[in-house]
A and B are shown apart, each in its own frame.
Chain A
Amino acid sequence: MNNIIEINNLSKKFKIKKPKKGLFNLFSAEYKTVNAVNNISFNIQKGERVAFIGPNGAGKSTTIKMLSSILHPTSGDAKIFGLTPWENRQALAHEIGTVFGQRSQLWYNLPVKDSFYLIGKIYNIDEVKLKRRVSKLVNLFEIRDLLNHPTKSLSLGQRMRCEIVASFIHNPKVLFLDEPTIGLDITAKAIIRELIKKQTLEEETTLLLTSHDTDDMEKVCDRVIIINKGKLILDNSINHLKEKYLNKKYIRATLDNGEKISKEVNTQKMPIQKVLEDLLKGNNIIDFTIENPPMEEIIKEIYNQDV
C-alpha cells in the first residue's frame, strides 16, 4: 500500500452565531454548532483519481480545505506524505495544488501570463524552468491566445482552464479540485475533464475532486467517495458503483417513421432481452441504444438508502 493521503476520524464543527433581535441581546450572543464533517476516514494511494461527491452542505469543501491546510479540524487526524497538513503548511505547500472553483488564484487585473509568472515566483521556480513548464501546460490546455488577456476579461470556461494550469505550474504531487466545472457549459466541462485526466495521468498526480456533477467523476476519476451530512456513506470504485446500482436501463429506439420510443427497464424484474423482443414485435426499428441511468440517479438512490 502506497497511501499518500490518510484520513482518520476527521471532524469539523463550526460555531455559528444565532441572529438575535433587540439592543440588549448584543451582549449575549448565542451560538449553534454545525457538524460539517463527522468522523470520516479514508486513504488515497499515489496516482489515484478520487471523486468526492455529495449534495450541498455535505462537507466536501470543508474536507478539502482541511486537507489543503486552510482549515484546522475539530478532531481527528489527516496525513499527506506523512505530514499533518494544518501543521506543516510550508512543507506541504510545494506538494499540493488547489483549485477552488468559486475563487480565483489569478490576479484579476493582470494578464494571465503575469499571474503565471507570479505563481512561479511564489514557488521559487527557476525562470528557465518556469518558462518551459508554462509553455508545456499552455499548449496542452490550448490557452496561448489568452496569455495576454487580463483575467477579468476571460469567460468562466477560459478562466477555469487558466486556473487549472496555474495549479499545475509547480508540479504538485497532490491536486485538490473543488468544483472545477461549476457554472461551465457542457462543451467547456467536457474539455476541462479531458484535460485534467490527461495531465494527471501523464504526471501521476493524485487527484481529489469535489463536484455536484456526476459526469465529472465518471469522466475523470476511478474511485468515488460519497459524503452526506458530514458522514461518509460510500467509498468504492466507479465501476462497482455502476454495477451495483445499474439494475436500471434506458432503452431508446427510433422507428422507420421517425417516431422515438423511450423505455425504462428494471433488469431485476424483467430481462432486457424480453423487453427488446417485445419492442421488435410490429416495429421497424432503425436505431436503438441501451443506456445506464445517469449518475445523479444512482447517487440519489444511495442517499435515500442512507436516510
Chain B
Amino acid sequence: MFNTVSKYFSFAKISFREKSSNLTLIMGMLVILSLLLLTYNQLWVVVGKESNNAINHSFIWYLLLAETIILSAPRVDRIFDEDIRSGNMAYFINKPVSFFFMRFSEAVGEMTSSFITFISFGGVLTLAITHQVPFEWKHLPIILAMCYFSCLINLFLKCACGMSAIWFSSTRYLNMVVDRLGFVFGGAIIPLSIYPEWFVNIAQYTPFYSFYYLSLRLVYEFSWENLLQAITLNIFWSSLLCAFIFAAYRKLGKRTQIYGG
C-alpha cells in the first residue's frame, strides 16, 4: 500500500516540480489572472456607481477562487483523448502501474503547482485591489481546502471528458461545451446568488453549481450549514464522476486493440 501511494506521489511530485519551473507559462497565466481581476473589479466599480451602491468586494474574491479552479486545471482531457486514440495507453498495460492513476497523479501535481501560484499571487493582488477580506481569517484554511476540492472535481470532469474518447471521435468539443456549461451553471464569473431564482433552480441539478458556487460562496457567506451542504454535494458529484471514469476505463481495457507494424 505504501509503495503504491509512494509510486503515484512520485508522478505528482515530478509534475509539480516541472510545472513550477516553467516560469514563462506561470508569468503568462498570472498576467491573464491579473487582467481578469482588474477588469472585473472595474466592472463592479461601474455597476456600484450606476446603482448608487457600494462596490461588493466579496465578488472579486469569489472571482479569484473561480478563476483559480478554471486556470489550474491541466488539459488532462486532451492527454487522455490522445493517449486513447494513439493507443499509447495500451503500452502501459504490461507495466505495474495504472495508466489512469499515473496520468491523474501527474495532473494533480500540475494542478497543485498552479493552485498555489494563483492563490498566493492572486490573493495579494486581490487584497491590494479591495483592501479588505470578506471572510474571517480563521476560516481561510477551510475556504482554501474547499477550493482545492473543487479543483479536483473539475479535474475529474476533465478526465471523464477525455475518457469519452471511447465513444466520440473528438472530445475537444465536448470539453468546450462542458467548460461553457461551467461558466453558466456554476456561476464561474458572477455568483449565482445574483441570478434569477428560476435559473438557480435549474443550475442546482448540475455538478457545476456544487463545485463552483456552493464551494466558493463560502468566501463571502461562510456558515457551517453552507460548508456541510457544499461538502455533501461535492462528494456526491465526485463519486458519480469517479464511477463514470472507472466504468469507462474498464470498458477501455476490454476494447483495446493495437495493430502490429
B95 at interface by CB-CB < 8 Å: yes
Q: Which of A60-87 contact B (CB under 8 A)?
A: 60-63, 65, 68-71, 85
The answer to whether B10 and A93 touch across the interface, beta carbons within 8 angstroms, is no
How many angstroms between the C-alpha atoms of A259 and B156 in the bound complex? 73
Give the chain A neighbours of B95 by CB distance below 8 A: 93, 122-123
A288 at interface by CB-CB < 8 Å: no
Q: Which of B45-86 contact A (CB under 8 A)?
A: none
The answer to whether B94 and A98 touch across the interface, beta carbons within 8 angstroms, is yes
State the interface size on chain A (CB cutoff 8 A).
Answer: 40
State the interface size on chain B (CB cutoff 8 A).
Answer: 22
The answer to whether A69 and B96 touch across the interface, beta carbons within 8 angstroms, is no
* Most interface-central of B14, B102, B261 (chain A CB within 10 A): B261
The answer to whether B96 and A123 touch across the interface, beta carbons within 8 angstroms, is yes
B97 CB to nearest A CB, Å: 5
Give the residue name and chain of the A residue nearest to B90 (CB). Answer: A70
* B10 in complex: contacting residue of A57, A96, A102, A121, CB < 8 Å: A121
A152 at interface by CB-CB < 8 Å: no
The answer to whether B260 and A93 touch across the interface, beta carbons within 8 angstroms, is no
* A90 in complex: contacting residue of B3, B14, B96, B260, CB < 8 Å: B96
A110 at interface by CB-CB < 8 Å: yes
How many angstroms between the C-alpha atoms of A71 and B260 in the bound complex? 10
* A124 in complex: contacting residue of B18, B96, B102, B258, CB < 8 Å: B96
How many angstroms between the C-alpha atoms of A174 and B29 in the bound complex? 46
A102 touching B258 in the complex, CB below 8 Å, given contacts A118-B10, A121-B6, A122-B95? no
Give the residue name and chain of the B residue nearest to A93 (CB). Answer: B96
How many angstroms between the C-alpha atoms of A14 and B7 in the bound complex? 35
A83 CB to nearest B CB, Å: 12
The answer to whether B93 and A117 touch across the interface, beta carbons within 8 angstroms, is no
The answer to whether A121 and B94 touch across the interface, beta carbons within 8 angstroms, is no
* B3 in complex: contacting residue of A59, A96, A124, CB < 8 Å: A124
The answer to whether A62 and B259 touch across the interface, beta carbons within 8 angstroms, is yes
As a 0/1 sequence over residues 100 to 111 of chain A, the CB contacts with chain B under 8 angstroms (1 = contact) are 101101010110
| Interface, chain B (partner A; CB < 8 A) | 3, 6-7, 10-11, 14, 18, 88, 90-91, 93-97, 102, 256-261
| Interface, chain A (partner B; CB < 8 A) | 12, 14, 36-37, 56-57, 59-63, 65, 68-71, 85, 89-90, 92-94, 96, 98, 100, 102-103, 105, 107, 109-110, 114, 117-118, 121-124, 178-179
Q: List 16 A-B contacts (CB under 8 A).
A: A69-B94, A70-B94, A70-B256, A71-B257, A89-B93, A89-B94, A93-B95, A98-B91, A102-B261, A103-B88, A103-B91, A110-B14, A114-B18, A121-B6, A122-B7, A122-B95
